[in-house]
Amino acid sequence: MTSVATPANFNELGLIPPLLARLTELEYQQPTPIQAQAIPSVLAGHDLIAGANTGSGKTATFALPLLQHLFQQKSVDKSLSNKGNYVSGLILVPTRELAKQVADSIKSYSAHFNGAIKTLAVFGGVSANTQMLALRGGADILVATPGRLLDLISSNAVKLDLVKTLVLDEADRMLSLGFTEELTALLALLPKKKQILLFSATFPDQVKALTQALLHNPIEIQVQSSDASTLVQRVFTVNKGDKTAVLAHLIKENEWRQALIFVNAKHHCEHLAEKLAKRGITAEVFHGDKGQGERSRVLDGFKAGEIDVLIATDIAARGIDIEKLPVVINFNLPRSPSDYMHRIGRSGRAGEVGLALSLIDHEDFHHFSVIEKKNKIRLEREQVKGFEADEVSSDSITAAEKPMAKPEGTGKKKRKKKTPVNTINADIWSGYADPE
Ligand code: AMP
């Protein structure tokens, strides 16, 4: 991947005054690395493949140039708005909540355009009629989940033949099995000539194949996570039967303002919430079996800080931006290593201090090692004081004791029962520099 000269402030990026004024109001003091590297290329009309971690400021990276192009085009060609059911900028995202969030961000960035740019979000789980009405006369920017967009197209509520820019956000997810059919159908409806911007934290083979087939001489930018130091990752070995007790203990002892807890199945959300309730902790749940009204209520409540503890499945793992979320806890490990990165990326966003904890029992050791290996991390196994795991396998030897290069599965020296490695107090920040 090529690296591009990096402007240090927004004024140097070539953005127009209404956008710069808004960024000042939003107190964005300087571009994030992906913004600094990508915005000039996108403004120049290039296709883009951007590899950037979640929380790195991706939305503004595509939204600001897109808004600028549309605003400038509309100033020149006033007839654009009269083309029925047109869309100029199309942003495809994998989840309903992300659609709403991205559209809200774009509306916020457009604050000084005096209503010249119309942005809409369309997604499933809510009335299609309302969305059809809103789409009358088209939209400059449409943020959509693929299934609902196809429904709206088949009802003639929207047409894609005037799309000038296509953004695929969370492209690795968009190209996963669950979406390929819908995405193929949508791509066939788009005009041949268009700018494509593709964002993905990871680049699996499907993404690479798509970039070759679709993109035209793309600029490729890979931003290494410079925020890594602001997100502290820790892993605790616990007995399987103690997991809920440990979770409750950590929540109570640390007095986090909020916590997002990930589990692997929808029914586990309710189950864990009930168990926490018995320990005096009120938690709300968020998963795909909830109606859209309830999903919105819970997520909005969590974002507004009205809900302290949220238990969720991986539908909350992608792109969702919760300001200053202090901690993400993997109560169950995610199946895929990339989902681990997406989950923990809900905390420590945009350079803020964050914390990601994983609770692993003995059955998780191997899987957690795979997650580490794939994500090129290695965490010291720790234990929570008062909840020491019965026995600690070779995987629980600290990083210093077990050299990274040592092949997996060697040195299977079992430790004696109740011999904690690096036992800690519940105070998660103990031993770490003051986050300030
Ligand atoms: P995103 O990766 O687009 O979801 O952005 C993550 C968070 O960073 C959002 O809350 C943005 O409002 C915020 N953000 C994006 N760009 C900047 C910036 N240049 N300075 C400060 N905050 C930013």
Last residue of a domain, one of 196, 222, 248: 222
pLDDT in tens, 386-427: 998 887 544 444 333 333 233 333 333 333 343 333 433 333
Q: Judge if 200 and 248 occupy the same domain.
A: no
145 in ligand 1 pocket by Cβ < 6 Å? no
- The two tokens of residue 35 are 């913004």
61 in ligand 1 pocket by Cβ < 6 Å? no
Q: Judge if 218 and 232 occupy the same domain.
A: no
Give the pLDDT of residue 313: 93
Q: Judge if 152 and 291 occupy the same domain.
A: no
In a domain, 240, yes or no: yes
pLDDT of residue 430 exceeding 50: no
> Rounded to whole angstroms, what are the CA distances from 214 to 206, 211, 423?
12, 5, 52
In a domain, 431, yes or no: no
In a domain, 321, yes or no: yes
What is the Cα 336 distance to its own chain's centre?
A: 15
Q: Judge if 151 and 280 occupy the same domain.
A: no
Give the pLDDT of residue 407: 30
Cα 300 to averaged position of ligand 1 atoms, centre (Å): 18
Range of weakest confidence among 19-28, 67-76, 305-314: 67-76
CATH of the domain at 218: 3.40.50.300
**Which residue has its alpha carbon closest to ligand 1 atom 8?**
350
d(CA 255, CA 88): 47
Q: Judge if 215 and 338 occupy the same domain.
A: no
Beta bridge pairs of residue 359: 236
Nearest ligand 1 atom to alpha carbon 56 = 2
Q: Judge if 217 and 236 occupy the same domain.
A: no
Give the global pTM: 0.70
Give the pLDDT of residue 352: 76
pLDDT of residue 178 exceeding 90: no
pLDDT in tens, 307-364: 999 999 988 887 677 888 999 999 999 988 888 988 998 888 766 788 999 999 999 9
Q: Taking residues 359-377, report their average pLDDT.
A: 92
Q: Starting at the edge strand that comes first in sequence, how are the strands of the sheet with 309-312 ordered? A: 283-286, 309-312, 259-262, 327-330, 354-360, 231-237, 381-384, 423-424
Give the pLDDT of residue 7: 67
Give the pLDDT of residue 425: 35
Q: Is 219 helix (H, G, I), strand (E, B) or coil?
A: strand
In a domain, 432, yes or no: no
In a domain, 22, yes or no: yes
71 in ligand 1 pocket by Cβ < 6 Å? no
- The two tokens of residue 271 are 């189950």
Q: Judge if 49 and 171 occupy the same domain.
A: yes
Last residue of a domain, one of 191, 222, 253: 222
Q: Starting at the edge strand that comes first in sequence, how are the strands of the sheet with 87-92 ordered? A: 119-122, 139-144, 87-92, 165-168, 195-200, 48-51, 219-222
> Rounded to whole angstroms, what are the CA distances from 375 to 63, 341, 350, 369?
28, 8, 20, 10
The string of DSSP letters for 405-417 reads TSPTT----PPPT
Q: Judge if 295 and 258 occupy the same domain.
A: yes
d(CA 191, CA 56): 30
396 with 237: CB under 8 angstroms?
yes
Q: Judge if 168 and 73 occupy the same domain.
A: yes
- The two tokens of residue 107 are 């509306």
Q: Pick the closest to residue 263 from 283, 237, 291 (CA basis).
A: 283
**Which residue has its alpha carbon closest to ligand 1 atom 20?**
28
367 with 343: CB under 8 angstroms?
no
d(CA 215, CA 410): 45
pLDDT of residue 185 exceeding 50: yes
Q: Is 171 helix (H, G, I), strand (E, B) or coil?
A: helix
- What total of structural domains would you count in the chain? 2
327 with 259: CB under 8 angstroms?
yes
In a domain, 304, yes or no: yes
33 in ligand 1 pocket by Cβ < 6 Å? no
Q: Judge if 256 and 404 occupy the same domain.
A: yes
Last residue of a domain, one of 222, 257, 290: 222
* Pairing status of strand 423-424 against strand 381-384: parallel
348 in ligand 1 pocket by Cβ < 6 Å? no
In a domain, 249, yes or no: yes
- In terms of residue numbers, what domain contains 388? 228-424
Q: Judge if 313 and 197 occupy the same domain.
A: no
In a domain, 434, yes or no: no
Q: Judge if 234 and 187 occupy the same domain.
A: no
- The rounded radius of gyration (Å) of the Cα atoms in the chain is 23
pLDDT of residue 431 exceeding 50: no
Range of weakest confidence among 136-150, 296-310, 334-348, 422-436: 422-436
Cα 340 to averaged position of ligand 1 atoms, centre (Å): 21
Nearest ligand 1 atom to alpha carbon 58 = 3
